[in-house]
Amino acid sequence: MYIRALFRAAQVEGVAAPYNTLHLKVFYPAQSSDSEQERNLGEVPANAQQAPFPVVILFNGINCGPEVYQWLAVKLAERGLVVVTFSWVSENLPGMIALTPGVDLQALFPGVYGTRPTASALPTILAELEQMQAKSVLAGLLDLQRVILGGHSAGGRVAIESANPDFFPQVVAAFAYAAHSAGVTQLGYEPGTILPLPDRLPLLLLGGTNDGVIAESSHRYGVTWEKPTTPVSRTFQEAIRKGRKDSYLVLIEGANHFSVAHPFDATTGRPFLDLPSTQSEEAIRNVVSAAIGLFIDAHVRHQSSALGELHQLLKENPFIALSECK
């Protein structure tokens, strides 16, 4: 599969300059035309035979550059998806300028939570995708009624909290690695509170048994987690209901908080809190990408064999410490 990417910039309404600009990188299945324009400008046409393309939007962790998720973007694009990563430098907290997935802090307070999306970058990204559908190498080839939200850490949290068709009718599924919905005590929540998720769409929650960042951040929630995976497991158990058979919990043995970040960047974020991974990092990434890809194939693209392959992976792969479906 031949994968290419293009870049876009978009402004976020209501945010003051210079912190109001998103820079997008959009990965897509391509097919070389050997045209003069391709040779001169590097604009390679999309592989229209695979269109229309469902779209995955990846939300980065705080101070995690989007380039560390390029490996996953390429893996998913190889399955016939268009994948968007983005970079947004903004002042998420007063006086703290960071690379952010876009967290609407006001939407996290008691009494407000659940009434609006927490992913503040999402409306801008969706609007830019509409522009690309009208004019770009992907014009007319995007399936903008099948948008999947995914992310890592804080980016994973805003993805799963914002996957509500009442907010965004075009969103059809969500996934996250190293994310949970525990309520921060400084915002007014009781210690150990797990906040509800929209629970309207297929959901995949992934985590690593050696997630030191989650373990060392438990004070934010007024507790000491029993295991690094405790808030992820509790989110699955308490924030969503049983019955649809399209929600999954997958815990990967020996994976840590940054196992999905490759190449790893130790200069930003909080990697100093993490525990060492005890498995092959490449093998962990392969399990993560396979689980996400099969989840999308089964519950978004409704491919006939994907559901069985997903369940087989979760049951038989030796890197998976625990998997549940409800």
Q: What residues does each domain of the chain span?
A: 3-325
Q: CA dist 138 to 58, 99, 129, 320, Å?
A: 18, 27, 9, 36
Mean pLDDT is lowest, of 58-72, 134-148, 268-282, for 268-282
Distance CA 258, CA 268 (A): 12
How much is the pTM?
Answer: 0.96
2 has a pLDDT exceeding 90: yes
45 has a pLDDT exceeding 90: no
CA-nearest of 94, 146, 157 to 120 is 157
pLDDT in tens, 192-212: 999 999 999 999 999 999 999
Task: Judge residue 126's burial from the number of C-beta atoms within 10 Å of its C-beta, 0-12 exposed, 13-18 middle, 19 or more buried.
Answer: middle
181 has a pLDDT exceeding 90: yes
Of the candidate CATH numbers 2.30.30.90, 3.30.390.50, 3.40.50.1820, 3.60.20.10, the domain formed by 3-325 belongs to 3.40.50.1820
What is the predicted pLDDT for the residue at 39? 58
40 has a pLDDT exceeding 60: no
Highest mean pLDDT among 84-98, 186-200, 265-279 belongs to 186-200
Kindly indicate the confidence band of residue 243, based on its pLDDT and cuts at 50, 70 and 90: confident
What is the predicted pLDDT for the residue at 96? 85
